[in-house]
Structure 1
């Protein structure tokens, strides 16, 4: 019984000093394109997006998880899609003044593309980002960032196949093995 009490005390003591950083953000995501069998390229329309970072501080930065979701439509085709990213990320804080902090970071993870024109919905993805944080108090800050998001896709996959006067055609396939998107976000950072 003493062992379990000691373990519980250690867990409680260490967790009381832990800090959790939660940053919900809204933003705008643009970029990404697909190509049809005739070589015509269709860009993904820029749209608003939602993102959430849950992190913990480490030495001169922080580590944690980043989630983002964007709904989009292919320009000129009226075809909807949704891309979700989940990354493990790490960033380095660079103090500018007492209340301003700049940061840069990278992340790795996966993406889920929910679209009719994709066969393999899950792919490897990566991110690179930079931002500024203005601290109002030790527990509340305004956060702004720009972020590159890239995801691997299989360019051998085709979808939206149809039959036109007896000829079978596939309307869409990915232009390359890598789709790049760019995102700008603004949010509030809460420290607990």
Structure 2
């Protein structure tokens, strides 16, 4: 995923120029995006779940799939942005399970623009929560780090492409993946990681 994201960024280098604030006018930005998320691996906790079972699994995986979301950003003097980030993914589980896994992330984030020329590269970070939902649900604290570009197309529009890594800290023996008709599966408390490559269109106002 990192290599694919960097290829996207490379293709955007010739487009536009940096989106620096003009004459001290610090505006707002809205960026809907679509992207692709890597797989999420879950390891089984040491003790089996107390439920009737016919099969037991040692691990489950949320498969890689498309995602979508948006940024609401306020430009600041640094230069950069403070942002609200929302991301949504719905994906099958492997081995096959009757239900799907949905992953919703809400982060308070920031981005620091490294240059106001050409592709306007930036680094970003965020902190907030990630909500996992399958047979049950679990909300976990999470953080993210990002590397991206935002080439300006017009006075009001820009492209935005980034690679973002997420880490979520799950509680010990989280049972949102436990299907009582198929398996006894409680997630081992651990840092669960995932990567996204995203491409969006920014409207500045």
Structure 1 length-normalised TM: 0.79
8 A contact 1:83–1:112 mirrored in 2: yes
What secondary structure, in the 3-state scheme, does the structure 1 residue paired with 2:151 have?
strand
- Per the alignment, residue 42 of structure 1 pairs with 60
- 1:72-83 map, 5 Å: 72-78=91-97, 79-83=99-103
Q: What is the DSSP-based 3-state SS (H/G/I as helix, E as strand, rest coil) of the residue aligned with 2:184?
A: strand
Residue 96 of structure 1: how far off its partner (Å):
5.8
Gaps of 5+ in 2: 1-24, 49-55
For the Cα contact (< 8 Å) 2:173–2:188, is it kept in 1?
no
1:95 matched to 2:115: yes
- Equivalent residue pairs, number: 167
Secondary structure of the structure 2 residue equivalent to 1:135: coil
Larger strand share, 1 or 2? 1
Q: Give, in whole Å, the separation in 1 of the partners of 2:96 and 2:43.
A: 12
* Pairing partner for 2:180 from 140, 152, 161: 161
Structure-2 residue corresponding to 1:177: 190
Contact 1:50 1:70 in 2 (8 A): yes
After TM superposition, which residue ranges in structure 1, 4 or more long, deviate above 6 angstroms? none
- In the TM superposition, residue 132 of structure 1 has moved relative to its aligned partner by 0.8
If asked which structure has higher relative contact order (CA below 8 Å, sep 6+), I would say 2
Residue among 24, 37, 44 paired with 1:29: 37
What is the distance in 2 between the residues matched to 1:30 and 1:185? 12
CA contact (8 A) 1:33 1:174 kept: no
User: Equivalents in 1 of 2:127, 2:113: separation in Å?
Assistant: 19
Q: Flag the structure with larger Rg.
A: 1
Structure 2 CA distance for aligned equivalents of residues 161 and 110 of structure 1: 27
| In structure 2, C-alpha distance between the alignment counterparts of 1:46 and 1:73, rounded to whole Å | 9
Deviations 1:22-78 (A, max 9, x none): 111000011311234556322211010001000101111100100000001211223
User: Normalising by structure 2, what TM-score?
Assistant: 0.74
